[in-house]
Amino acid sequence: MPERTPQDIETPALLVDLNAMEQNLRTMARFFCNRPARLRPHFKNHRVLELAERQMELGAIGITCARLWQAERLVRRGIRSVLIANEVAGDGDLRRFVELSREAPVLLAVDHEEVVRELGRLARSSGVQLNVVVDVELGLKRCGVAPGQPAAELAKAAVAEGLQFRGLMGYEGHLQLLAPGSEKETVVSRAMQSLADTRALIEAEGIPVSVVSCGGTGDYRTAGSYPGITENQAGSYLLMDRSYAAAAPDFHETLVVLATVISVTPGERIVVDAGVKAVSGERGLPVVKNMPGLRLRALHAEHAPIDILEPGVALKPGDRIELAVHYHDATVNLHRRMFGVRNGVVEREFTIEH
Amino acid sequence: MPERTPQDIETPALLVDLNAMEQNLRTMARFFCNRPARLRPHFKNHRVLELAERQMELGAIGITCARLWQAERLVRRGIRSVLIANEVAGDGDLRRFVELSREAPVLLAVDHEEVVRELGRLARSSGVQLNVVVDVELGLKRCGVAPGQPAAELAKAAVAEGLQFRGLMGYEGHLQLLAPGSEKETVVSRAMQSLADTRALIEAEGIPVSVVSCGGTGDYRTAGSYPGITENQAGSYLLMDRSYAAAAPDFHETLVVLATVISVTPGERIVVDAGVKAVSGERGLPVVKNMPGLRLRALHAEHAPIDILEPGVALKPGDRIELAVHYHDATVNLHRRMFGVRNGVVEREFTIEH
């Protein structure tokens, strides 16, 4: 079969640079291979089962995910050590979690006494062991209970309800994108310390804590080395993007959206066939890769108009350009497939789970 | 089978109010039922084949779409009168257009001489009639050739190449969201007049013009009544959204994203399981429907934190809320299904084409 190149792919298409991605994979794996904290990378960003398997092969102790359905796919693929780093609520979803727990000891984040009580009832009526970690709020102001006593109370409630209390998680998402440096280290360490203190408080009650999960790509060095922390949830490191790059200089951007020029107004603009349905405009507009004479003006629904800033840009309809992805998590979500490219050849095609 | 209610649906889920949608459908159909211009509604917004069929039943003369693959789905569903209101370029896609043209006389927008020449070559080598309309730039600064002589030249080139030149299209997208009133009417009329003038110029060359397509939901009354215009491409009217509502007061908002409360910090915030992967933040944040005491703070990847502004908001994990969709085109694109709800019952499930 002849080699396929990006030129042969229908656009708009999501391309990943395999060399860059594999370097990211190895850089993070190497960091976590010989320290107390281990890597449990997040699945929500890439949602490719093969890539989760690859992360496991390189030493990850399990996978973190955001949704019940993601945990179901991972377990059914054979990855049994899964953390759902978010709350689940509602009768239907809590029952699905019980069913999943028959298959594998999936960890679920909890932050509310009522859910803990409901899970306790379900555990007793089903006879299934349900594993939970208490979600601790570290300043992001999203999910989680306050560190210290409130978290310890919820841990005790989980134990009293007969749940398998496994430990704690926290996500200092508001600190991830800070520029690297000593100031960032200070605030990240403070968040880690409040998790470690909460752990100590719970252990002092005679309740064992085996999991303390936190951290991301933007603070993995500090969070992943902090005493009392057992695992790191970094996810963005694998595919990386423009919006994250300054906060995570150890990793390479890997993604572009390939687009076709469908209209040319000479000296003024081109229009490509990729708009907000193919590349996210959240957090900022994508830029045209390797063509400084072009500036993306806006993302429309189905296209992007791109202004020509320098004379001499000689594109014609049918030519291809690449948009460097600004925010990969929302962009990957817009695609069903991701094409793995190495040295100009499409080497493989990944299925993105939905 | 017992009736299904939104409470039974897995979240996040896209719900459409069937009564409101059907009213929108009828309002627009009635406007176009007895005037020279006819309705060829846009498919890109809803992408539901059944709804396109419903639009045809109520008098649409055909369907407008944005992409080649959309035209393929429509034709294979039996809708033969289709306008691709965008340019197509590149060898592979132009050949696909030729194949599609064997099945139905699909109209394709063109704005570039090189593409016209290539289509001419393909028409001659395949023996297939290829139907084109010349796309005229009306101030949006996206696709299209300038009105007047440049458009007439391209029409002549299409005829010379042996293409079936059918007429003109233009899209005054930059005028759609202006507030209704006489100022808007003036600028819309000016755009329409430049299309009508271009039509006259081409007809003066002895080239018949049977199609002059333009207009949207935001200017359908003016554009749809203007002499010389034969059809209107309005699409947003059917599902309508918050961002469009002020510019199109004849139509009702129909869409919400149903979400589940997964975390509650009493007196401060709730968190729901719908983020940018379930509801678009382009053009503005969605609002929580019917709950003025709640304000969506941001859309994260997988959730939205929602601040509690008034005491007395008593939500608990597992409760459902509805987010009124701000920008429906990008939001519908995030979903595979749309649940049709009437009087609190899920009456049907629509498949969104991807």
Contacts of A112 in chain B (CB under 8 A): 263-264, 316-317
**pLDDT at residue B78 greater than cutoff 90:** yes
The separation between CA B155 and the C-alpha centre of its own chain, rounded to angstroms, equals 26
Residues of chain A with pLDDT under 70: 1
Of the candidates B8, B300, B330, which has its C-beta nearest A301's C-beta? B330
CA distance B23 to chain A (A): 25
CA distance B203 to chain A (A): 25
**pLDDT at residue B263 greater than cutoff 80:** yes
**pLDDT at residue B1 greater than cutoff 80:** no
Of the candidates B262, B318, B330, which has its C-beta nearest A143's C-beta? B262
pLDDT at B41 (0 to 100): 98
Of the candidates A141, A263, A333, which has its C-beta nearest B277's C-beta? A333
Residue A185 Cα distances to A23, A192, B87, angstroms: 25, 10, 51
Average pLDDT along chain B: 97
pLDDT at A1 (0 to 100): 66
pLDDT at B204 (0 to 100): 98
Stated as kind and residue range, the H or E segment containing A70 is helix A68-76
CA distance B331 to chain A (A): 9
**pLDDT at residue B183 greater than cutoff 70:** yes
Q: Structure tokens of B256?
A: 């919400």
pLDDT at B111 (0 to 100): 98
What CA–CA distance (Å, rounded) separates B351 from A25? 37
pLDDT at B354 (0 to 100): 97
Q: Could you give all domains of chain A from N- to C-terminal order, each with its CATH number? A: 6-13+251-351 (2.40.37.20), 18-239 (3.20.20.10)
Picking from A17, A7, A10, the residue whose alpha carbon sits closest to that of residue A348 is: A17
ipTM of the complex: 0.96
What CA–CA distance (Å, rounded) separates B254 from B117? 44
Percent residues over pLDDT 90 in chain B: 98
